[in-house]
Structure 1
């Protein structure tokens, strides 16, 4: 009854209740009511829940990972508006996030690109959840033979909403301008070998540990293929303040002895 009273207070508009909030289950409405304070964000999460069919747990994960801030408010670095026709360019920008959060990957300080890639592929269901709606995973280290030379794409997807191939390259360090050139080549190869007449132009996404937005923008300015640059985060298991409160492995071993 308390939740119902709060719901009625927050959403006094009868038409909104009947047409918008009615699209999702009551438990989802309560989760959004409790965890999201901004009215515009509430409407966005309601619409995305209805659009994607998120379960209660997935909805909470999306809210707690700041999906709205990463997908709607993020200062995204792309050349999509110059390299893609409308409305594909707008949809591609909306699909992107910055940063991507791969918090399901066990964190190590010395992780290499291949380690991250393999960890993503091992839990491809969670990878697809984070990458977004409409993505079909086609493979990692996807082999392309160009002029007799072998090349390997880190991650290859097809997006059913965008109707195009999406090439993702992972980099463990800062963004560098030469990464855009490499991805531009991969996109040319995919468009020349895999793309069919009914497909839209392929899109590239560079995922780096960090980036300088100005450097990234200049790097994409004269690139011929549509490319976006985003950061990714791999959270270590526990916050520092909580980790300090827990016993170390050595302490536990001493107690067992």
Structure 2
């Protein structure tokens, strides 16, 4: 009996592999869904037991400790005291009618439940789902205070919208973060990299850099050469944004931005609009990243200039979260004072 031709056999092999991979992924999602629902239900049982007053006795004071010991003995791993604390929190923060999403794992929710503020937690949950963050990516965004950075400068309504919907990219200004944080480069504080070194490091850590830039960025090129009247220029980093359907040009500066830097970026944007754009592309966005920014100089240098040219600050180390939180509190209090 002759075997099927080799191409037919390879097709069969591919079909089986695809079916198995798809089935396994579906099984894992089903297991995760059931796990989240079970942990939520366990949290409900614990909270209701406490609310009925049964936990006020001496036994009740050590309820989670005793539960952990007994459940581990009966059911095995998964019932540490810490895990039971988070199951209880899961029910408390996601009451009936607001159950947690099955698109995130239990490990995601453990990280989310460490956040006390409801608005902040809601933002990270929405953003983790929208951008399909892994648990390490979620941790990183929390550590760099992404919510506080995006919320800074918004009014109360804008902060609420951000918390309830996550960061939606609908216009060029939605791409911006203040400041951008490049702590993943792990540059010693005593060392100040040159512009070329910084660009090289960002390129070497492209995955982390794309995470910091946000959803929708596709890398196009580094030191992208453009030629105008036989003169060559190079854009430090070029991306294409899939949602806004436009090129995003990045220029890196280690010193304070000067007016000629802004003029040069405007030149790059004009070139891309006329020479690189194809049908369906929107006008390019230019972002100059700098460690220091003279707001007045930028205002005057961009007077009546392209509104899609931005000068944004970056820093090499984690932001001061307390300062950002104080700023957010001040915005909130000022808004309440005017109501």
Higher relative helix content: 2
Q: Same fold (TM over 0.5)?
A: yes
The partner residue of 1:58 within 125, 128, 137 is 137
Aligned-pair Cα RMSD in Å: 2.0
- The whole-number CA distance in structure 2 between the counterparts of 1:24 and 1:11 is 14
Asked whether 1:139 is paired with 2:221, we answer: yes
CA positional deviation for 1:89: 8.5
Asked whether 1:7 is paired with 2:86, we answer: no
CA positional deviation for 1:144: 0.4
- The whole-number CA distance in structure 2 between the counterparts of 1:227 and 1:37 is 37
Q: Which residue of 2 aligns with 1:44?
A: 123
Q: Which residue of 2 aligns with 1:104?
A: 184
Q: Does the C-alpha gap of structure 1 residues 225 and 10 become closer, same or farther in structure 2, counting only changes over 3 Å?
A: closer
Asked whether 1:28 is paired with 2:112, we answer: no
- The whole-number CA distance in structure 1 between the counterparts of 2:225 and 2:151 is 34
Per-residue CA deviations over 1:75-99 (Å, capped at 9, x if unaligned) read 7xxxxxxxxxxxx985322221111
TM-score (norm: length of structure 1)? 0.79
- The whole-number CA distance in structure 2 between the counterparts of 1:224 and 1:6 is 48
Q: Does the C-alpha gap of structure 1 residues 2 and 111 become closer, same or farther in structure 2, counting only changes over 3 Å?
A: closer
- The whole-number CA distance in structure 1 between the counterparts of 2:295 and 2:260 is 15
Whether the 8 Å contact between 2:169 and 2:244 is mirrored in structure 1 is no
- The whole-number CA distance in structure 2 between the counterparts of 1:67 and 1:89 is 15
TM-score (norm: length of structure 2)? 0.61
Aligned-partner SS, 1:167: strand
Q: Which structure has more RCO (C-alpha within 8 Å, separation ≥ 6)?
A: 1
Higher relative strand content: 1
Aligned residues: 220
Unpaired segments of 5 or more residues in structure 1? 76-87, 237-257
- The whole-number CA distance in structure 2 between the counterparts of 1:153 and 1:49 is 31
- The whole-number CA distance in structure 1 between the counterparts of 2:98 and 2:169 is 30
- The whole-number CA distance in structure 1 between the counterparts of 2:203 and 2:299 is 29
- The whole-number CA distance in structure 1 between the counterparts of 2:317 and 2:147 is 19
Question: Which protein shows a greater Rg?
Answer: 2
Q: Which residue of 1 aligns with 2:80?
A: none
- The whole-number CA distance in structure 1 between the counterparts of 2:277 and 2:152 is 32
Per-residue CA deviations over 1:167-207 (Å, capped at 9, x if unaligned) read 00101012223221110011001111101121011000010
Deviates more, 1:36-45 or 1:21-30: 21-30
Asked whether 1:205 is paired with 2:284, we answer: no
Q: Does the C-alpha gap of structure 1 residues 74 and 156 become closer, same or farther in structure 2, counting only changes over 3 Å?
A: farther
- The whole-number CA distance in structure 2 between the counterparts of 1:203 and 1:118 is 22
